[in-house]
């Protein structure tokens, strides 16, 4: 199955000129979702991953399934103020303003091997913040996996320059 065929494109969302890549159509197809989890997990089957870290919110959906497939734990990376215990925080810049990601301070124990997961990587700002946050917590980041990449926006290159191997299933060039 061609996963790209299961992703809906919505023009001019959330603002004019943006081509929004909606993976909810992929998630609601049991064959596409299963294939996504298997393909995203495959490169890491022999890496003895301790935890999969998923970025809020779609990274939770895919990350939890990948953690199950890899027989690993799951670490949620959330927006500031959503976690009830002691946290590590990492600020990052957005197109208009800034935001903060957090994880529980005890989510990573020692040099655990961690796979970072999210649905899409564009400029890489959120993923870069997640990498910095995981490193602050002591994680050994083995890789990052995304369903969709917009390579012209440079996010994958940003992570690779940070020493993170990246797996992507679908690319949309020039968009």
In a domain, 51, yes or no: yes
pLDDT at residue 94, rounded to an integer: 77
Range of the domain at 128: 47-171
Catalytic pick from 95, 109, 128, 175? Answer: 95
Specify if 104 maps to a domain.
yes
Q: Which is catalytic among the residues 58, 102, 109, 135?
A: 58
95 has catalytic annotation: yes
Angstrom distance (rounded) from CA 108 to CA 155: 25
Structural domains in the chain (count): 1
Global confidence as pTM:
0.95
- CB hemisphere CA count around 168 (13 angstroms): 19
**Domain annotation covers residue 16:** no
Q: Does 33 fall in a domain?
A: no
Q: Is residue 147 part of a domain?
A: yes
Question: Is there a catalytic annotation at residue 175?
Answer: no
Return per-residue pLDDT of the chain as tens, 175 residues: 999 999 999 999 988 988 999 999 999 999 999 999 999 999 999 999 999 999 999 999 999 999 999 999 999 999 999 999 999 999 998 767 799 999 999 999 989 999 999 999 999 999 999 999 999 999 999 999 999 999 999 999 999 999 999 999 999 987 6
Structural domain includes residue 34 = no
Q: What is the pLDDT of residue 175?
A: 60
Q: Identify the CATH number of the domain in which residue 67 sits.
A: 3.40.50.2020
User: Looking at residue 38, what is its pLDDT?
Assistant: 98
140 strand-pairing partners: 113
In a domain, 30, yes or no: no
């Amino acid at each position: 199955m061609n996963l790209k065929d299961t992703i809906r494109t919505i023009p001019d969302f959330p603002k004019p000129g943006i081509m929004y890549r909606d993976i909810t159509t992929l998630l609601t197809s049991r064959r596409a979702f299963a294939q996504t989890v298997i393909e995203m997990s495959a490169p890491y089957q022999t890496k003895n991953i301790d935890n999969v870290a998923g970025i809020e919110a779609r990274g939770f959906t895919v990350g939890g399934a990948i953690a199950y497939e890899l027989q690993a734990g799951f670490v949620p990376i959330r927006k500031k103020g959503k976690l009830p215990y002691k946290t590590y925080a990492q600020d990052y810049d957005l197109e208009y303003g800034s935001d903060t990601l957090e994880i529980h301070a005890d989510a990573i124990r020692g040099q655990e091997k961690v796979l970072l997961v999210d649905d899409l990587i564009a400029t890489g700002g959120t993923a870069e913040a997640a990498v910095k946050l995981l490193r602050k917590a002591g994680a050994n980041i083995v890789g990052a996996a995304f369903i969709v990449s917009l390579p012209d926006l440079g996010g994958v290159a940003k992570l690779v320059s940070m020493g993170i191997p990246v797996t992507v299933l679908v690319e949309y060039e020039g968009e």
